[in-house]
Amino acid sequence: MPFSGSAQSGNRTPSAPGRITWVIAGASTLFLVASVLWWMSGSSPSAAQATPSPITETQSTAAEVSETTTAPLSDASTAAPTVDPTTTAATNNAAEQPVTALESPDAAGATSGALTPATRGTNVNADPSIVSAPATGETIGDKGPDSPSPQPSRDPLATAPVAAPTVDLPTALGMVGTDSIAARLQLTRLIDSGTLSPEAKRQAIEAITTVNASLFFSSTVNPADALMTTYTIKSGDALSKIARKTGMAADWRMIMRLNGIKDPNRIRAGQILKVPTCTFHAIVNKSEYRLYLYAGEGSDRVLVATYPVGLGENNSTPTGAFMLKPGSKLVNPEWRNPRTGEFFKADDPKNPIGERWIGLQGVDAGNSKALSYGIHGTTDPASIGKQASMGCLRLKDVDVEVIYEALTEPNSTIVIVP
């Protein structure tokens, strides 16, 4: 007799309890497999969304490290805290402490964040984009700033006068109308001799200013003047290119000044330019509040011009020999006042340091620790002739432009005397 509930075909068919047992076993197996897979994945989908993966976290950390280690630092960011040069000697271990001028864009970066050349103004060491050569007669010019041809490093004190005047002041003054080149040399030697009375020195400076108005600051070229040469513009030239080709140890803007060029892009092939062949140096006499700009060196150097200057408050402007700090010449620098935190953008007419910054560095034993001092313009012309700056040398804006064009790195020497 067949079993109850069995099919007539003779195949065994599970009973209802048996089928339930199979379903439970299958579900258990699926649950076990899912559990194993979940355990191997390490997290549920919701947890994966809430927690960064190890790879993402590692990449973020690497980026943070890269940003931290490659951020640009200003020269002053590694310097010791800013100190007043007049009180340095009274502090412990003063000889080891660098001395900074707070007006410096570099020094300001130490207090309010590093200011790179890109953010604080135009670095003149950038190479310009040269205009392609047009046809003869079309305008050609300069599209950007450029540094002059590098010259050999010089003895910081090589500009000291080594020759005495050979004529007296009345004779030198009488030579102005007959031999301006000889008059300029003798007047320079008389001024440098230190033997002139204040009134006589004033007369000598006025005479040499008159001579240089034609001999130096004009497009006229005296063939006997060893400080100048001429250059005929060729197709494809630019002022910066001309400066390099002639080995000029001055900023290319000096060519614009001497030749009365208003637009560097409006020069023509065949045009004859006056180009200086000399190196420029400066002496700052603190007691006179005056900067003396010289062309040439040694016994042949001549005075080009003198300009009134403002000095550091509390006699904080250091003395000694200085040279230009590498890469420190800036046009339209940005600046943050380290005392008030006020920030001034480039081209801001209220920027206290004006439109030019020329960084200086001490090069003799007495001022080798002096950092971040400089020469700059000012929005306060009334401060010229006074001790009003944070340690730097300030000039009127029209005067600092001449100094900016004349002084170059590593050619020029700046000597500051008491």
Residue range 18-28, pLDDT digits in tens? 555 554 556 56
Judge whether residue 91 has pLDDT over 50.
no
pLDDT of residue 191: 95
Task: List phi, psi (to 5°) of 43.
Answer: -165, 160
Q: Is the peptide bond before 410 cis (omega within 30 degrees of 0)?
A: yes
Using CB atoms within 10 A of its CB, is residue 414 exposed (0-12), middle (13-18) or buried (19+)? buried
pTM score of the predicted model: 0.68
| pLDDT value at 305 more than 80 | yes
Question: What is the pLDDT at residue 336?
Answer: 87
Average pLDDT over residues 196-206: 96
Beta-carbon contacts of 354 under 8 Å, excluding residues fewer than 6 positions away, are 376, 377, 378, 379, 394, 397, 400
Instruction: Kindly indicate the confidence band of residue 101, based on its pLDDT and cuts at 50, 70 and 90.
Output: low
Residue 365 has pLDDT above 80, yes or no: yes
Q: Is the pLDDT of residue 106 over 60?
A: no
3-state class (DSSP) for residue 218: coil
For the cut 90, the answer to whether the pLDDT of residue 226 exceeds it is yes
Q: Which residues contact 243 (CB under 8 A, 6 or more apart)?
A: 146, 148, 149, 250, 251, 252, 255, 275
**Average pLDDT for 309-328:** 93
Core vs surface per residue 241-266: b (16+ CB within 10 A) or e: bbbbebebbbbbbbbbbbbebeebee
> What's the pLDDT band for 215 if we cut at 50, 70, 90?
very high
3-state DSSP of 74-90: CHHHHCCCCCCCCCHHH
**Burial label, 123 (beta-carbon count in 10 A; 0-12, 13-18, 19+):** middle
Whole-number average pLDDT of the chain: 73
More confident residue, 3 or 316: 316
- For residue 227, what are the contacts with CB-CB under 8 A and spacing of at least 6? 216, 276, 277, 278, 295, 296, 302
Q: What is the pLDDT of residue 321?
A: 94
**Residue 214 contacts residue 269 (beta carbons within 8 Å):** no
Structure tokens at 169: 């002041």
Residue given tokens 């400089």 in the structure block: 374
Per-residue pLDDT, 59: 32
Helices (H), 42-102: 45-50, 54-70
% the chain with pLDDT above 90: 50
Nearest C-alpha neighbor of 276 from the set 305, 256, 298, 300: 256
Token pair of 192, please? 């440098």
User: Token digits for 364?
Assistant: 């003799």
As a whole number, mean pLDDT of residues 65-81 equals: 30
